[in-house]
Homo-oligomer: A and B are copies of this chain.
Amino acid sequence: MNPSPLPFEPDHNHDRCISEALEQARHLCRERRQRLTPIRELVLRLIWQSHQPLGAYELLPALAEAGFNSAPPTVYRALEFLQSQGLVHRIASLNAFIGCPHPEQSHQGCFLICRSCKSTLELESQPIQQAIRSSAGSLGFTIEQETVEIVGLCPNCQTRPQRDPQ
């Protein structure tokens, strides 16, 4: 067990990922006077079940099991709220959602997505950010939102292609 979740390590302490993410979500929402309702918290917990982006419709059965209404608007509303608080990011190229490991300040994610095991890692890459800002700036373009999603093979899947880390 690693003390902190390492990128693409299938045997990291993921229970800790979950509990930390939930704890931080509760803390941030309290601080911001936003309501982390049972549905919202459940959706966040479900998304954090793995490091693989989850589609909105994959959440519905679990919501139903938990006794909630399970129509699309329910889950999309929860996802919208979580996104607005920076707790969740949407992966445009997958139509899916993933928990943000550092939601304390709003930011643009940069994602490495493994084609094989689907594990997805959010980067904070200064060089990438800088290069984008520089390219856009030199053309007089003002950046408002960035989508950077890199698909490929994670280290595990290059050697053990069939492995499926959470």
Contacts and interface: CB of A to CB of B under 8 A. Distances in A.
Mostly, the A contact residues are: mixed
Interface stretch (A13-21, A49-57, A126-134): A126-134
A2 interface: no
A131 B121 contact: no
Contacts of A158: 140, 142
Contact of A92 (B92, B121, B132, B150): B92
Contacts of A144: 115, 151-153
Given A128-B131, A147-B93, A136 B152 contact: yes
Interface in A99-149: 110, 112, 114-115, 121, 123, 125, 127-128, 130-132, 134-136, 139-149
Contacts of A140: 8, 154-155, 158
Interface of A: 7-8, 92-93, 110, 112, 114-115, 121, 123, 125, 127-128, 130-132, 134-136, 139-155, 158
